[in-house]
Structure 1
Amino acid sequence: MKAGVGIRALALAYPETVRTNDYFRTNHAQVLAEAQQKSLSRVWSPHKTTESARDIFNEEMAPFLDDPFRGTVERRVLGPGESVYSLELRAAREALAAAAMTPGDVDLLLCTSLLPQAVGIGDAAFLAKDLGLRGTAWNFESACSGALVGLQMACSLVRSGEYRNALVVVGCSYSQNTMETDSLGWTCGDGAAAFLVSSVPEGSGVLGFKSLHTAETCGSLYYEMVAEADQAPRMFLKANPQAGKSLKVVSESSLRASCEGAAQAAGVSLEQIDFFVFNTPLAWYASFCAKTLGVSLERTINTFPLYANVGPVLMPTNLYHAAQAGRIKPGDLVLLYTIGSVSSAGAAVLRWGEVALGPSPVAEPPPVGAGHWRPGAR
């Protein structure tokens, strides 16, 4: 049996500013009136891409097609004096505090964000400096699968004996990289997460991984430098007209391969999994994943109504709230699944242990269950 390695502590950091749909109704009424011709509606509209008798993705998306926000309810966005880096630093400090560890206990820091404050360099070395770490610090990138890839790298390096304690930090600043006048940004928010990976009792921790590339989505989403009037040029997220079709195809093909592969690597079946944590970049994504795998919605969680799409922070956010609500308990088998465009998709199976949690970023936890809600009016 492999030496036990897993998550020892998990923390989230989100901005205080909450932006509801009324913000866009008030400030961008013309864009809203033309919503069906804008990016969001073009990307997430029905695409016939499968020969199977049942198209679960389109079925689960259908109730949201009359909603110009595609099911988005709230987003937490950076306010004055905040940055993705400040969120990353706060999450890292709270993960250390939850684990009762000092910076001197951490000998490896792994960091990824969309996009980092230090574009072209990454935030890892800055975090190491401000945290007072003495070990090494690396940047990496795998889009919305960043947290799972960071977990896999950290577990492998700790299990090898090369490092003892690894701190993984992920951040997202979509509100800074999407235009308010582009409806694609209406589904996006900001946030950060951090988790500590260390040795855990044998038989617990991460038991198996499976990862796949998502090269089929190359070109679907991309960043473009744009100079707005009287402002410095910034990188903005864009989508090509075929983005929805290619992302849907990958969603259908990678989900089962990743989850079944991770279960096989762990020596278990999907039927033995107690709880499933899918990343939720769309209002209907958890429900799509659950129905594709034949999993009860009561064995999943969907925090999209609270946070919208926060890229690599999605999976640790869902995992945190599932643990906080007591929906996963020590000894449970948990499956994590993430998918990122122009990067990777993957899954991990772990036996949940005694994981310390940082303070909750929201006063009211997300509702129990996933996929039960439908478009709101807020």
Structure 2
Amino acid sequence: MVGPACAPDRPPSAALSRSHLNGAALPATDQNRVSCEGPTDLLESYRPTSFFLSSPRGPLLADAPLHRLASVDTASAALSRASENNVLFGALPFDGSQPPQLGLGAVVRLPAPLTVHQEIAAPVPIGADTSWAWEEPDDTLYKEAVRAVIKRIGQGEVDKVVLARAIDLTADRDIEVGDILRALVTAEPDAYSFAVDLGDRTLVGASPELLVSVHNGRATANPLAGSAPRHPDPVLDRIQATQLLESAKDQREHQVVVDAVADALAPLCRELETPARPALSRTRTMWHLSSRVTAVPREGVTALDLARALHPTPAVCGQPTGAARQAIRELEASPRGFYSGMVGWTDTRGDGEWVVSIRCGEVRGKSLRLFAGAGIVAGSTPEGEAAETRAKLRTMLLACGAIEATS
């Protein structure tokens, strides 16, 4: 889907030195500042080489980067030397030993301060004339891997492991990432919908999980851990949510993640607050236990610094991290790549927003690989975790039109 670009906000003589994204000042030159009616217009300007990230605070669209950056250290150094109209954006993979996909760009399109709810009302899947070839995931191998993790937990080798799985779909034509983005933003207006050009493929998804944001000297992390599928019946849906909130197993799993987030942020922050109990967070397909951790970063600490310190949290890896990583390497059938990594941006002031790249897939021509994972802890069952991954896969299956909302 390709549409007209947004029109320039005003001529250069208007002397605007800054524009505002998500309520935070984001450097931009007059020539590069663009005003749009809202996220719908921003999506119309999306191109295959663009970077797109929407959030409840507003969306960002950056054109192809002026500079590709080979490592996170290189990116941090480049950002510290950049002029104020530059923004660092891109994605980091799950495995930190693999190269990131980061760019430094000067052209950033910004929307007017309207919410997604004001702009988009109903889910719009991609073209109904697209045909998909795919098979329902076979639970056998995944359940065997879950059993192997449960055994390791019982032997005291590890406390938690997040096991992921992947499924492959093939369309009868080249897949338009912009169409999937529109469907995701429509169906999941409170999620963090994103698209990142990875060179030979595109990462696209709608994550429910904020890794960290920094705005006006305040940092916020919003770890999610402990999940339950949504139910189409409102009464049963509320029962499932209540059961999740009262589940001792899920509460333990969640607290492990919150403690890890607090421990990672503490050395880089002057103040830190964590909630006493998690709250419920919902997407179109899932309920999650959610905690908002707030902090005040130390002088000179950027959003990217905090994101690097946090990644990967036990919500996507496990605990202890080393043992969980080893289990993931041995038991997962498909390499994760950028799934369960992070996607986001940081400006020259240190403000920014990074999200966990889950509920996502990779588009390559006519092919789409989707990922989903579940946290295995004491009390987990192979059947329950397999069902959870199936529910999580529905976010992208619905967005691309491979399944119906009633299925």
Q: Structure 1 length normalisation: TM-score?
A: 0.30
Q: Which has the bigger relative contact order, CA under 8 A and spacing at least 6?
A: 1
The structure whose residues are more often strand, as a share, is: 2
The structure whose residues are more often helix, as a share, is: 1
